[in-house]
Structure 1
């Protein structure tokens, strides 16, 4: 399929580099608010066309699918416009910054009959698929608890997207989404949510400790942080065994009941390949990252942010 990339930041560069390693993928257009940045990006990756506005890219009839790599606060606007223009969409996580936004995007995708997926690349990692299969197959018995962390220390900078309120920064939407998504994938939607953490001077969350509760006492203990180096590991403990995951957002090794399983780090290529297949078949969503799951995860994050005292109402459109 022929792809367009919207935005030219660090994540766009990383994903585009992987995109070009996937057979049959052709990236033909890129856009940025600064056309010179789009031109430099196009030259670096051998892309035919560079636009100074994402709307120009969406009018490009050759583009079939777009990868949205803008800051969080623009995901809703850009994704709706792309679906309206008849493009399939892979949008960086989180898909939106409120459940109402996500619901609107889902309705639009289904109305326009265009593929839409949040870029939760972790779900397509072969080892995460193996972990999910091991849990579903009862290899560790009944899961009783999940512990998952993702955090690193970065200096506060009110103008940086991680810290700025106008870009919907903070630890939960950027990092906490990974452990929350893992808990959702393995345990489903929680019946109880409790969160505690600190706020940055910019009124976004600096860190959070999250408890997700389920029936019969099953629970997930999750942490995310922009002010402390938590690492990125996860442990899933069942009545008959344990699973350990290192670099839980993109593992190359997991240990299931003491047995190591390894895979090559292929980055975002698994995810891009799946979009190619499912969008090419005319699907609206992917069974491994369904839109209902994205909405459930957003609702959990929304509740966590509410308990932390983070309010993005003034930037939600």
Structure 2
């Protein structure tokens, strides 16, 4: 039997949390423990968690004195609590898991040979009238994981990692912006990432999402572009600092992952040399727009 931990950071999630927990309880795989850390909710979230904790002994509310520390540090606190588990799933409070999520993800990660492993799956967005059904990643999706240093397209709610990867990622630098960005990039440099083209999560989009919202798409895009332009200097500094944190991990970078050094050294060159090296080595984001924004930021 493999020890499986699911970690969930909650915050004012009473509207959707029960549906998410029920979807975990209904998994075809039953050998798991769900650890929930509440980040200072002021609604009835804690009452919901306490109800399920009494209903199912596999569900555990984490108590600490850290207070409201935000999603990044809240997940870091959770990761430290599950250091003895073989495999760790990450969970959003407002999603719905398909019944087979744990089963198929475990099947995939158990087949991997690398010491540091991460598996992510496809998913579907839902929750607004604008959403269209269907897989988020298209059938033609062929990920080049080295480009995760430019844009992380892997959602934490679709991920499972092994204990080895947990133990080299459980200290998350602030430059990471969010926990999944850090874990994914450590995995793509020092370990192995596998993609499973199977929808295992219904990812809810609503006005209180951490990563996105259902505001007008054009307004949302304009605000994002404006933020990129206004914070260009700061974003460039944060990126360089983030890359340095990745390299500072006390492990040897595998020979086939030494492109990270090429990437970092290119950023420290003049703009023409920088462009030449990065384009020659095919460093691109997931989308054309994000690629253009990346090159705008670093030049």
Larger strand percent:
1
TM-score between both structures, scaled by the size of structure 1: 0.30
TM-score between both structures, scaled by the size of structure 2: 0.32
Larger helix percent:
2
